[in-house]
Amino acid sequence: MAARAHVLVLLVLLALASAAAAGGGRHPHQHRHRHGGKSARLRLIPSAPGASLADRARDDRHRHAYIRSTLASRRRAAEVGASAFAMPLSSGAYTGTGQYFVRFRVGTPAQPFVLVADTGSDLTWVKCRGAAGSPPDAQPPAREFRPAASKSWAPIACSSDTCTSYVPFSLANCSTPASPCAYDYRYKDGSAARGVVGTDSATIALSGNGRAGVGADSSRRAKLQGVVLGCTASYDGQSFQSSDGVLSLGNSNISFASRAAARFGGRFSYCLVDHLAPRNATSYLTFGPGPEDAAAPSPASAPAAPEQTPLLLDRRMSPFYAVTVDTVYVAGEALDIPADVWDADRNGGAILDSGTSLTILATPAYRAVVAALTKQLAGLPRVSMDPFEYCYNWTAGAPEIPELEVHFAGSARLLPPAKSYVIDAAPGVKCIGVQEGAWPGVSVIGNILQQEHLWEFDLRDRWLRFKHTRCAQ
């Protein structure tokens, strides 16, 4: 009986195999492939048929480690891309400079530095030892970057496209294609930095809830790879005596702002504390969502929406951020300033610059603003004080300072506090805190006029947003 059953099963299997062969091996419910119904078959065989289970288990562990590492790196990358990060920002008044300083960590292992936050720079650099051309008898700075001690430092060749096309003030001498990319960076105030360029990683503190500073979690750190970094062997300039270098926030392919913003929502923001604030009064430079993107408050306590105006990312103005000024008002009266002064196409225009302290206005704008302000302050005794043209003895009285308003394209209005344009220059002395610039020429909105405002540079959608706020944390 059992033998007959086995024979019957064998006959059934042979019949099924014959039917499958007659049907081209195709299941009756399968659809014919659009290319003639043919299919390719590849035999799957074990790579090591005689491998033991122990060998297979070992191979599985190696593969699992690879999978885990790959997914972990992708998750970290996704986390970095979806978060924000913030860097403490403070006034450099305690050093006698008009700059704002930011704390920056670069290299592997990370080395800490204090850099000037500069929207007018396209090259980030730090004071450095061991760079080509370092003077052997130079006095070492208090903090110095040592590229040889960083596992992630990689020199950029002088023949590379980055060096020849994007590094500002790169030097033409290139003894061999692999020689380091050298620079002699010149600033408009006469200061300079000289060294070589490479790339390295920056260590950043993630802030998951997107609130500038408040959400920063020092325990959640990430590496921002491929930061273009100048290793400066020699430098000139007063502000560089008090800092370790410059953090580039300008509009440039190689600036830290452009690289970091590309990874964090396409935008960055900063809030400048009072320029005379003490060293411990800090705010934050933030990449990614800022305070305005925090959890929405109740309608009753909702803050006013920030002002916004188009951000002009014009190559002719690079690395600076330009905006269009429509009208300037003093004491509610529109000033008669030629439209050409604010027109970049006619050798005018206006930029925001965190690296410039005093606001500089092209001659026609300067004369109109100063005439309107001095008219209101005419009753006060004049005082001479460089570099200002109009200073007053404030102990003789405290008149009401006329309101200054700057209207930008798109109906955005900047109403700075009076201390931002009639500034404290000495005990009992106030000065009109603007300077005259050449005409034709660009006007510069300096960091004193920007103080106590949150400024967001939306590089992706090309908007500048701002609002008056308390910056100190």
Of 257, 292, 327, the last residue of a domain is 292
Q: Is residue 70 part of a domain?
A: no
Residues 319 and 280 in one domain: no
Share of the chain above pLDDT 70, in %: 74
What is the per-residue pLDDT for 4? 44
Q: Measuring CA to CA, which residue among 144, 175, 143, 147 is closest to residue 159?
A: 175
What is the per-residue pLDDT for 149? 93
> Cα 206 to the chain's mean position, in Å?
14
CATH number, residue 442: 2.40.70.10
Q: Measuring CA to CA, which residue among 400, 384, 383 is closest to residue 392?
A: 383
> Residue 459: helix, strand or coil by DSSP?
coil
- Whether 10 shows a pLDDT value over 50: the answer reads no
End-to-end CA distance of the chain: 92
Q: Is residue 14 part of a domain?
A: no
Residues 189 and 335 in one domain: no
Residues 237 and 326 in one domain: no
- pLDDT category at 235 given cuts 50, 70, 90 is confident
Of 243, 263, 292, the last residue of a domain is 292
- Whether 32 shows a pLDDT value over 70: the answer reads no
Cα 218 from Cα 216, distance rounded (Å): 6
What is the per-residue pLDDT for 173? 78
Residues 311 and 456 in one domain: yes
| Residue 172 φ then ψ, to 5° | -75, -25
Q: Is residue 224 part of a domain?
A: yes
The total number of structural domains in the chain stands at 2
Residues 162 and 277 in one domain: yes
Residues 123 and 247 in one domain: yes
Once rounded to an integer, what is the mean pLDDT over residues 5-26?
A: 43
Sign of CA dihedral 323, 306, 100, 220: negative
Residues 326 and 373 in one domain: yes
Q: Measuring CA to CA, which residue among 264, 317, 286, 358 is closest to residue 117?
A: 286
Cα 222 from Cα 91, distance rounded (Å): 26
What is the per-residue pLDDT for 473? 64
- Whether 182 shows a pLDDT value over 70: the answer reads yes
Residues 373 and 232 in one domain: no
Q: Which residue has the higher pLDDT, 473 or 182?
A: 182
What is the per-residue pLDDT for 254? 94
Instruction: State both tokens at 48.
Output: 């090591």
Residues 259 and 335 in one domain: no
Cα 392 from Cα 432, distance rounded (Å): 9
Cα 14 from Cα 249, distance rounded (Å): 77
Cα 205 from Cα 188, distance rounded (Å): 33
Q: Tens digit of pLDDT for each residue in 50-86?
A: 555 555 555 555 544 544 444 444 444 444 444 788 8
Task: Give how far Cα 403 sits from Cα of 235, 328, 364, 400, 414, Å.
Answer: 41, 11, 20, 9, 11
Q: Is residue 355 part of a domain?
A: yes
Identity at 161, one-letter amino acid code: D
Query: Residue 276: which domain range?
Result: 78-209+219-292
Of 292, 321, 342, the last residue of a domain is 292
DSSP 94-135: GGT-S-EEEEEEETTTTEEEEEEEETT-S-EEEEBSS-TT--
Q: Is residue 147 part of a domain?
A: yes
Q: Is residue 249 part of a domain?
A: yes
Identity at 326, one-letter amino acid code: D
Share of the chain above pLDDT 90, in %: 54
Residues 276 and 350 in one domain: no
Of 156-170, 229-243, 451-465, where does mean pLDDT reach its minimum? Answer: 229-243
Residues 241 and 328 in one domain: no
Once rounded to an integer, what is the mean pLDDT over residues 112-127?
A: 94
Residues 224 and 337 in one domain: no
| Residue 242 φ then ψ, to 5° | -105, -5
Once rounded to an integer, what is the mean pLDDT over residues 20-25?
A: 45
For residue 92, with 0-12 CB atoms within 10 Å meaning exposed, 13-18 middle and 19 or more buried, which class applies?
buried
Give catalytic residues, as residue numbers: 118, 353
What is the per-residue pLDDT for 71? 42
Q: Tens digit of pLDDT for each residue in 379-391?
A: 899 999 988 999 9
